[in-house]
Amino acid sequence: MPAAATFAQEIAIVTGGSRGIGLAIARRLGRLGARVALCARSQSSVEAALGALRADGVQALGMPADVTSAEAVRSFVERVRQSLGGVSILVNNAGIGVFRPALELEEADWDRVLDTNLKGAWLASRVVAPIMVAAGRGHIIHIASLAGKNTFAGGAAYCASKWGLRGLAGCMAEELRGRGIRVSTIFPGTVHTEFSPHAGKDPLRMLQPEDVAHVVEMLVRQSPQSFVSEVDLRPAQKP
C-alpha cells in the first residue's frame, strides 16, 4: 500500500462508518489523504458523521445503505465509483450484537446478527473485490472481535458471526493474494463505544475507537511484498 505522500490516490469505503470504530477509521483514513465514503443505516446518522468529519477537515461521501441487502450494497458502491473512482480500500466494519443465551434467541435475532456481521461483509467484498482485481491492488479489512476466537455465555449469535467472519477472511486472503489484494482481519477486545454498555468495566482501561483506527493505518501502510493477515488487539490492562 502507499506511502503517506500518495494516499490522495486512495479511495476507501467504511461500512458502519457513522460512529464509534467506523467513524474513527474514516477520520484516520481521511487525515491520511484518502477520499472516504461511508454508509450507515439512516440518513440522519450519515449526515451527522459527515458533519463531524468535515469539521475535522476530512471531505467524505456518505449515504444510507443496508449492508444485508445485495442491491443496497451494489447501489452504494456504484455511487462511490461514479463520484470518486475505483475503490482501493474496503473496511467491513458494520456490525450489531444481540446478547442472550443461545436457546433464548429468536430466529429474527439470529438472522439479523449473522446477516449484518457476516453476510454484509461478504456482500460488500463481493462487489468491491472485482474493482480491486481490475486495478491489480487493494486492501480489504474486516473488523471482527476477540469473540471470533473466544466464546462466552450469552454470545452465541455474536460469536458465531465473528467466527464465521474469520473463516470468510481467511479464504478470501488465499483466493485474492495472488491478484495483489491483501485481506486482513482485526480482532479487538473490549472497545469503549455505544455498541455495548460494558457494565461494571472502567472505560479508561478499555480500547478506544482510535486504537482500532491506528491498526487500520498500520495495515494499509504495509510494504507491497507483505501483508498482516490477523491482528489481536487488547487493552493494556483488563477493564
Neighbours of 201 (CB within 10 A): 15
Give me the pLDDT at residue 115, please: 98
pLDDT computed for residue 161 by the predictor:
98
C-alpha 136/C-alpha 210 separation (Å) is 30
**Beta carbons of 193 and 21 less than 8 angstroms apart:** yes
What pLDDT does residue 195 have? Answer: 65
In whole angstroms, give the CA distance from residue 70 to residue 231: 28
Phi then psi for 101, rounded to 5 degrees?
-55, 145
Please report the pLDDT score of residue 1 as a whole number. Answer: 47
Which stretch of DSSP H or E encloses residue 158? Answer: helix 156-176
d(CA 201, CA 176): 40
Instruction: List the catalytic residues.
Output: 158
Q: What residue segments make up the domains of the chain, in order of their start?
A: 4-233
What pLDDT, on a 0 to 100 scale, did the predictor assign at position 189? 95
pLDDT along the chain (239 residues), means of 10: 68 97 98 96 96 94 98 98 97 96 97 98 98 98 98 97 98 97 97 71 87 98 92 91
Would you say 86 and 12 are in contact if contact means Cβ atoms under 8 Å apart?
Answer: no
pLDDT for the residue 8: 92
The class that CATH gives domain 4-233 is alpha beta
pTM: 0.95
